[in-house]
Amino acid sequence: MSWTPSEGALVGDRYRLEEYVGEGGISTVWLGHDEETGDAVAIKHPNYDSSNAREIIDQSIRSELDVLEGIREAGGHPNVMELVDSVVHADTLCIVVGLVNGEDMSDVVERHNGITDPEDLRRVGIALCEAMSFLHRNEIIYRDLKPDNVMLREDLWPVLIDFNTAKGFEPELADGDGVSGTVIPNPVYKPPELNNDPDLVGYRQGPWSDVYSIGKVLMYMLSGTGVRKHAVDPRDFPGTRSTPDYLAEIIERATGKHKDDRYQNATVLARVLEARDPEPPDRARLVHLQADETYECYPGDTIGRQADDGPQPSIAIDDPDKYVSSVQVQFDRTVDGEWLLQDHSLNGTWVNDGDGWQRVLSESGRERLVEKGDDPAVDGEMPPEEVVVAAGDEIALVHPQYPVWLRFEGER
């Protein structure tokens, strides 16, 4: 028999349930009080009274906890809810997160009959993009961005609050019908590759999937209603026809039906919103020397190992031996316009600018070496987590002796 929570109950001998908030198909949420710290928290537990099968609910709760633990290990992000704790109470797994002081986006938009100030839209959009970019470089696709999953503070600062359907860069776990039990079709905010569109069978999900949903959420903020179509141009709808051209074109491009019609990643979407210009920033060209393949690389693009199923990085490279991480590196631009390579792997990346190989290694990679009893320092110096790259530089994913080399050829 399932545990039935009640007001005043003490969960895990620490968290007092104070007020029922609401429930969804996977979990029920209570406002709570941390008896040890005095902090206000939110407590989520499985909603076994929903129409979902118990095993799907348990899988989703466990998956959400795994994702939130990964986010915490990566340092967290100000636009993502914070994992405080997880406890098992009466054989029920409960997730405790920091309380976000604000309202969900749908309530705020409904009360204001739409948020039409372009500057407000830009600030919310850029913050959501930064949160998504953080998730993507940490091997997570959010996959369910919608107004109910965004809390807005009084200053319109957005915070993502629900990770039931977030997915790491690994093969999908499917139920008996071959469909992931945590993916719930939502034709308004989810891109077609997540809505079983028959025209897009085999169309992979990736950073571009969350870009689509950000565009749809921005349209919702403008209009106060969800729009069930692709390539949405606010100027085509009564009430939003006065949307500035640049913003309308950005939303239209972000919500394209096909991946190639959208912005490639959330960093690019943030940059066009910052610039008030729908044209994406310049791309760079990379050549895979062993495979003789050429890639176009935008700021924010990630490179990692190709998986058989599930989400993938911006640029996926075949690596049957699986030494390349799911997200090995991410490229970006400095304020001076230089290209920057950031390592996000466990094994590290090596860059040769003509003066010999230099190791680039993420903080998690350093920690992994220390745990193994190895010294991550090279000639007494700790390898950097990022380096500037220029045309002609060679990039060895994993190690110069491992046959996955790229050549950075600069802007196309």
Overall residue count recorded for the chain in this entry? 412
As a whole number of angstroms, the distance between CA 122 and CA 271 comes to: 11
The pLDDT-based confidence of 198 (bands split at 50, 70, 90) is low
Distance CA 249, CA 234 (A): 9
Please state the domain extents for the chain. 10-98, 103-171+185-275, 284-411
| Residue-wise DSSP of 204-268 | PPSHHHHHHHHHHHHHHHHHSS---SSS--GGGSTT-TTS-HHHHHHHHHHT-SSGGGS-SSHHH
Average pLDDT over residues 62-66: 94
Confidence of residue 322 (pLDDT cuts 50, 70, 90): very high
Degrees to nearest 5, angle at CA 196 with 192 and 198: 90
Q: Would the pLDDT of 69 be above 80? A: yes
Tokens of 410: 């600069």
Report the mean per-residue pLDDT for the chain.
Answer: 91
The confidence score (pLDDT) of residue 412 equals: 77
Band (pLDDT 50/70/90 cuts) for residue 202 is: low
Q: Percentages helix, strand, coil for the chain, rounded to the nearest 5?
A: 25, 25, 50
According to the model, what pLDDT value does residue 231 have?
A: 97
Whole-number Å distance between alpha carbons of 281 and 268: 7
Written as one letter, the residue type at 322 is K
Tell me which of 82-91, 205-214, 372-381 is least confident.
372-381
Q: Burial of 281 by CB count in 10 Å (0-12 exposed, 13-18 middle, 19+ buried)?
A: middle
d(CA 408, CA 391): 5
Distance CA 131, CA 322 (A): 28
Task: Report the alpha-carbon distance of residue 407 to residue 246 in Å, rounded.
Answer: 35
What the block records as the tokens of 145 is 């961005």
Q: What mean pLDDT comes out for the span 180-190?
A: 65
CA distances from 168 to 68, 69, 224, 262 (A): 11, 12, 31, 22
pLDDT of residue 377: 85
User: ∠ CA(254), CA(79), CA(325), 5° rounding?
Assistant: 75
Of 16-30, 70-84, 304-318, where does mean pLDDT reach its minimum? 304-318
Give the residue-averaged pLDDT of 40-54: 93
Tokens of 294: 């050429």
Phi, psi of 141, deg, nearest 5: -105, 130
pLDDT digits (tens, 9 = 90+) for 164-175: 888 877 544 433
What's the pLDDT tens digit per position in 21-34? 999 889 999 999 99
- Nearest 10 degrees: Cα torsion 114, 117, 121, 124: -90
pLDDT tens-digit map of 207-259: 999 999 999 999 999 999 999 999 999 999 999 999 999 999 999 999 999 99
Q: Is 104:152 a contact under the CB 8 Å cutoff?
A: yes
* Local structure of 411: helix, strand or coil: strand
For the chain, the farthest-separated pair of C-alpha atoms sits apart, in whole angstroms, at 67
Q: 103-171+185-275 is classed in which CATH architecture?
A: Orthogonal Bundle (1.10)
Q: How far is Cα 132 from Cα 126, in angstroms, rounded to an integer?
A: 10
CATH topology assigned to domain 10-98: Phosphorylase Kinase; domain 1 (3.30.200)
Which H/E stretch holds residue 135? helix 118-137
d(CA 342, CA 296) in angstroms, rounded, equals 17
Task: Report whether pLDDT(278) > 60.
Answer: yes
Closest C-alpha among 266, 298, 293, 268 to residue 283: 298
Residue whose entry in the numeric block shows the structure tokens 């928290």: 41
Domain 284-411, CATH among 3.90.79.10, 2.60.200.20, 2.70.150.10, 3.40.50.300 = 2.60.200.20
Give the tokens for residue 403: 């046959």
Cα first-last separation, the chain? 63
